[in-house]
């Protein structure tokens, strides 16, 4: 038997049918839709979140300074709220001063001294007590205000 006389090789049959791209298109559409939703959600979050940050950064605060003493008389007081500072002499005890701090963050402090007695100070920001202290002759209170 020669090569030409040998039987033909196995029949391979018909090639498989072409696969449909339908599944690929569905997957791509779902992934594209999710990406679009994420982008829109991100834009909304930035816009809404940006407005909230702006409100906090431009907020002002009501700051109240209080100084008391066990002795009657007068006191020298220095207070600071953001960029506002003042030094007052011969203020009657008990001393209380409320101001509007225009900055949304910063330092608030009060320092008071008198000739005699036990002194105490309190700091309030937006109605909440943020610091208090007590000492003889001189007293300091300091706090940080954040948005």
Q: Per-residue pLDDT tens for 76-110?
A: 999 999 899 999 999 999 999 999 999 988 999 99
* Dihedral-angle region of residue 108 (phi above 0 means left; psi in -120 to 50 means alpha; beta otherwise): beta
Interval 44-87: pLDDT, tens: 766 666 556 555 556 899 999 999 999 988 999 999 998 999 99
Q: Which CATH number fits domain 61-145: 1.20.1270, 3.30.70, 1.20.120, 2.60.40?
A: 2.60.40
Counts of helices then strands in the chain (DSSP H, E): 1, 6
């Amino acid at each position: 038997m020669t090569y030409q006389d040998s039987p033909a090789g196995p029949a391979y049959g018909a090639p498989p049918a072409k696969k449909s791209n339908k599944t690929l298109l569905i997957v791509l559409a779902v992934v594209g839709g999710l990406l679009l939703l994420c982008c829109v959600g991100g834009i909304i979050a930035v816009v809404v979140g940006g407005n909230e940050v702006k409100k906090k950064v431009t907020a002002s605060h009501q700051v109240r300074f209080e100084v008391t003493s066990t002795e009657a008389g007068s006191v020298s007081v220095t207070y600071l709220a953001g960029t506002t500072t003042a030094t007052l002499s011969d203020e009657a005890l008990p001393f209380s001063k409320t101001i509007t701090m225009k900055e949304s963050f910063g330092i608030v402090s009060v320092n008071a001294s008198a000739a005699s007695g036990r002194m105490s100070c309190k700091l309030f920001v937006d109605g909440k007590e943020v610091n208090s202290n007590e000492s003889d002759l001189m007293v300091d209170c300091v706090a940080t205000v954040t948005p």
